[in-house]
Chain A
């Protein structure tokens, strides 16, 4: 039974690992921290898995656990306190993909997101993932109105960071 559970969990996670990587990308700035956080999220997902009943999609269920781990449960090691290293592999932009101006703008945007606090990062992440305000509110445990207002504030804050 346990082996079966392990197998179905690992298979599920393997297929949906992008979600976890993306959370790690938002919350960490170097590869070691990325791996650390990925490890902790995996443990938390595994711990919660026996209660996963399939009433939601596995991926939907993952967002919540992954974000909760990043915001609340994960204990950052010292190295991740370092200021954001903008040119880490995750954020490198291939020169051929973008023209200079867009590339520059994107770099600044990613840098600005890195300056947000943990809660704001979660909002931006869910927004980037195309989640509805209803889903954002459910995940964070706040009202939908609250989620909208907070998101607007984050947008304003990002604007301020980009155009001081």
Chain B
């Protein structure tokens, strides 16, 4: 293509017109902090881990834990607690390992894959948490309805609202999960839209 050859010639001849930074100016630059997408992903992911890991504490501070314990679900809450910490440790380890793999010296494709993988780990953690959270609420509710004296000993008239309790709980869970999905769509959208677009472009198979 003649035009591209013409451009190449011009491109080379224009080198002398490029800006020239001094040693000091470049030195100043290495002292600054990166504002790269990876740094943002790292900060946001850590915040997400902190938020979800601290939900437990928030519950305790709210007195929710006391209420749950009053229901006396035996070892269920203990097991749930241990499981949630194991999940947290597993995901943080995976996140850290993936994060360490991100290197600007890899090829563009590998770099993109590693970033996407790192982000995916956090996404999976969020989903596991939502699932876990939903399950805990449902289990607690089922236990309360079927096994506690409070509900079992009620007269027929008093029992009527059980379906209402179930419906309300499901509704609240649905709203909550919906809200989280919406929130993540926005956060992911902002962070990774361009990355995903470029990755797809690179992946496109030739015909």
Contacts and interface: CB of A to CB of B under 8 A. Distances in A.
Interface of A: 6, 9-11, 13-14, 17-18, 21-22, 25, 34, 38-40, 42-48, 51-52, 61, 64-65, 67-69, 71-76, 90, 93, 97, 102, 105-106, 109-110, 113, 117-120, 122, 124, 127-128, 130, 138-142, 145-146, 149-150, 155, 158-159, 162
B178 interface: no
Given A13-B26, A42-B26, A42-B30, A72 B21 contact: no
Given A40-B35, A44-B34, A106-B6, A21 B19 contact: yes
Given A128-B11, A139-B107, A72 B115 contact: yes
A-B residue pairs, 3 tightest by C-beta: A141-B109, A141-B107, A73-B36
Nearest to A125: B11
Given A39-B32, A75-B35, A122 B19 contact: no
Contacts of B107: 64, 138-141
A121 B1 CA distance: 16
B37 interface: yes
A90 B148 CA distance: 76
B104 A39 contact: no
B136 interface: no
Size band of the B side of the interface?
A: 35 or more
Contacts of A61: 105
Interface string B91-134: 00000000000011111111110010000000000000000000
Nearest to B207: A149
B128 to A, nearest CB: 27
Nearest to B16: A18
Contact of A109 (B3, B36, B103): B3
Contacts, number: 154
Contacts of A158: 1, 3-4
A140 B106 CA distance: 9
Given A39-B32, A122-B108, A73 B7 contact: no
B23 interface: yes
Contact of B108 (A11, A68, A117): A68
B6 A48 contact: no
Given A72-B115, A106-B6, A119 B202 contact: yes
Name the prevailing secondary structure of the A interface residues.
helix
B109 A65 contact: no
Given A39-B29, A72-B112, A75-B40, A48 B105 contact: yes
A46 B33 CA distance: 11
A110 B14 CA distance: 13
A68 to B, nearest CB: 5
A164 to B, nearest CB: 14
A10 B25 CA distance: 9
Given A42-B30, A117-B201, A105 B23 contact: no
Contacts of B18: 17-18, 21-22, 25
B193 to A, nearest CB: 11
A114 to B, nearest CB: 12
A28 to B, nearest CB: 12
B67 to A, nearest CB: 44
A42 B21 CA distance: 12
Interface string B188-204: 00000011011001100
B20 interface: yes
Contacts of B10: 93, 106
